[in-house]
Amino acid sequence: MRYLSKYIANDLKKKMVFLTGPRQSGKTTMVKDLLKKMAGSYFNWDDIDHRKMILARDWSDEENLIALDEIHKFSRWKNFVKGTYDTQKDKHQFIITGSAKLDIYKKGQDSMLGRFFSWRLYPLCLSELEHVFLESGPERLEKLLTLGGFPEPYFEGKENFAKRWRKEKIKLVFRQDIQELESIKDISLLELFHQALTERVAGEVVLSNIARDLEIAPKTAKSWLNVLEKTYSVFSVRPYSKGIAKAITKTPKVYFYDNGEVSGDEGSRLENLVANHLLKRIHFLEDTSGDTYELCYLRDKRGHEIDFVIVKNRKPVMLIEVKISDASRSKSFYYYKERLKVTKCVQLVMDLKKASTKDGILVVPLIDWLSKPLDEELF
């Protein structure tokens, strides 16, 4: 069972469920687990036989849950799903799964309005490992840093396996997912763009500089970043600027869902891991509560910097700094907490044994804070 299973099972009683997330993050495995418990059938559009059965709606009336995977590859999938749900919702429950394309195409779908709840399934994190898989201990952190949080390489536990697995996953994303989404003539250049991003994690990403190095137009670099975000390869963290002087930088930072793709130093890999944990938590809270969350950062031209800002319903509610071993409170907390009227400040330190609070700033062992249950009120 994954951390979303019980929530999705409950939502299926009321509406369709759309489940999205990075390739190989465990969506299909989780759905098949639900099917065993809820008596249903799984259909994958990529399978020719399954495709015929989907189009014919060839499933038994006794099937409680119907799972349609990769249905978004069908050009008329929206109307098909809408019609199927409207005519069969009294007999069946429906879960629609997919990665990038499903998430993109469901946005702005007035025809689907009121018919579904959406969820996002992300790779493993310290909280899920402890509270769902009952796995504890400091080795969890090292495995996530080096192997990443995708289930197969994490549980295999071998770096060589993780590298081979990652190579194939990236190949599938570039040669299949992206090609289905966008018409990009030179995929090899896009792969170089992707590689350039792996070397810039935790720093500001100036797309015009990468464009110059690759001899492409800045507009193309911006478009490619958008493609990588749509296919759940990377996510951008934008600077928070509301109510702050114009000296605040406006350049994004880019992080990877797979920590193993980060080619920087230990500090970059650690910040990438924390970014993943925070994104997973705020998207879980969005999907469960209906509140709106954003993950941002702060940096101005005078050097005042905060790694992460949690924004809830357009209001900053927490400042977060990430350190390997430095337990001395960042001076930037004092600079920004008064200006933004933020009362919660947390400094996560990897090599720290005991938490302490001073001036309203909590300095805490990183593994302890990130291991708290996803539904615990931290913000």
Residues 122-175 pLDDT 10s: 999 999 999 999 999 999 999 999 999 999 999 999 999 999 999 999 999 998
- The better pLDDT of the pair 191, 301 is held by 191
Tell me the residue range of the domain where 43 lies: 5-120
- Pair 216, 250 in one domain: yes
Asked whether the predicted pLDDT for residue 313 surpasses 90, the reply is yes
Task: Specify the number of domains making up the chain.
Answer: 2
- Pair 134, 278 in one domain: yes
Dihedral angle sign, alpha carbons of residues 146, 254, 263, 190: positive
Q: Which two tokens stand for residue 300?
A: 């101005």
- Nearest Cα to Cα of residue 232 among 167, 192, 278, 181: 181
303 Cβ contact partners less than 8 Å away, ≥ 6 residues apart: none
Asked whether 379 and 344 are in contact (CB, 8 A), the reply is: yes
- Pair 135, 110 in one domain: no
C-alpha torsion angle, residues 202, 207, 212, 217 (rounded to 10): 160
pLDDT of residue 112: 79
pLDDT of residue 32: 95
- The answer as to whether 379 is a domain residue is no
- The answer as to whether 378 is a domain residue is no
pLDDT of residue 340: 94
- Pair 147, 61 in one domain: no
Tell me the CATH number at 73: 3.40.50.300
- Pair 242, 299 in one domain: yes
Angle, CA 226 vertex, CA 221 and CA 228 arms, to 5°: 95
User: How does pLDDT run across 229-249, given as a tens digit for each residue?
Assistant: 999 999 999 999 886 656 567
pTM, two decimals, is: 0.94
**Residue ending a domain, choose from 73, 98, 120:** 120
- Pair 77, 145 in one domain: no
- The answer as to whether 375 is a domain residue is no
pLDDT of residue 121: 97
* Cα 226 from Cα 232, distance rounded (Å): 10
- The answer as to whether 92 is a domain residue is yes
pLDDT of residue 98: 86
- Pair 192, 232 in one domain: yes
Put residue 212 in one of left, alpha, beta given phi > 0 → left and psi -120 to 50 → alpha. Answer: alpha
Q: At what angle do helices 218-230 and 187-198 cross, to 10 degrees?
A: 80
User: How does pLDDT run across 344-367, given as a tens digit for each residue?
Assistant: 999 999 999 999 999 999 999 999
- Pair 182, 303 in one domain: yes
- Nearest Cα to Cα of residue 200 among 232, 237, 163, 164: 237
How is residue 330 annotated by DSSP?
Answer: P
Helix (H) or strand (E) holding 211: helix 207-214
Asked whether 237 and 204 are in contact (CB, 8 A), the reply is: no
Q: What are phi and psi of 301, to 5 degrees?
A: -75, -5
Helix (H) or strand (E) holding 221: helix 218-230
- Pair 201, 304 in one domain: yes
